[in-house]
Amino acid sequence: MSKAESLQNSEKQSAIYSYLAKNGASRPSDIARGLDSTRQSIHNALKRLEKKGIVSNGGGKYRLKDQDTIIKIVDGFANKDVNAVNEQVNGDISEASEPVNGTGPRWVIKLVKELKLEIEALERQLAERSGQINKITEAMIEERKRTDSVIMQQAKTIDDLSSQLQLTEAKNRTWWRFWW
């Protein structure tokens, strides 16, 4: 297999992994449609991922293995030379560059990069939505204060009217007694 074919395979595997992580168990045809690729190339890449122990096939649908298995596989690659992997993940490497000291397949390194970017994006979204939730909560508190104030004013008005009504009733009773 040439280096170009190897690079295409590792990119395909990384894309499939990301697709399965986002969409769950899927048929090869669904993955091919989602990744705009041929079913045969997806099927071949899935077989390679299955051989590596990253995905499993059940009922015609491929799914990622459990998180612990994947962590063990990635840790296995990373333990070979952690510093070299970190240099590749954090450094500016070209897509066609070879892994330093043979630390593992490029698709693992690319996957780690993609996952880091996704985590950063999710953290930004979380911070943004947290700010929105705080604003909504503050607005709700202010509205509740305003509503409570209106309720208290209405309760005071009802009390005042009730007192006046009781006073008027007492006067009427006295007046009727006087006339009877």
HEC profile of 61-107: EEEECCHHHHHHHHHHHHHHCHHHHHHHHHCCCCCCCCCHHHCCCHH
Assess if residue 167 is contained within a domain. no
Whether the full predicted model's pTM is greater than 0.75, yes or no, is: no
Assess if residue 114 is contained within a domain. yes
Residue-wise pLDDT tens digits, 49-96: 888 878 888 888 888 876 656 666 666 655 555 555 555 555 544 444
Assess if residue 44 is contained within a domain. yes
102: phi > 0 → left, psi -120 to 50 → alpha, else beta; which? left
Residues in the chain: 180
- 86: domain CATH number is 1.10.10.10
Assess if residue 174 is contained within a domain. no
Assess if residue 65 is contained within a domain. yes
How many structural domains does the chain have?
A: 1
Range of the domain at 85: 3-128
Assess if residue 106 is contained within a domain. yes
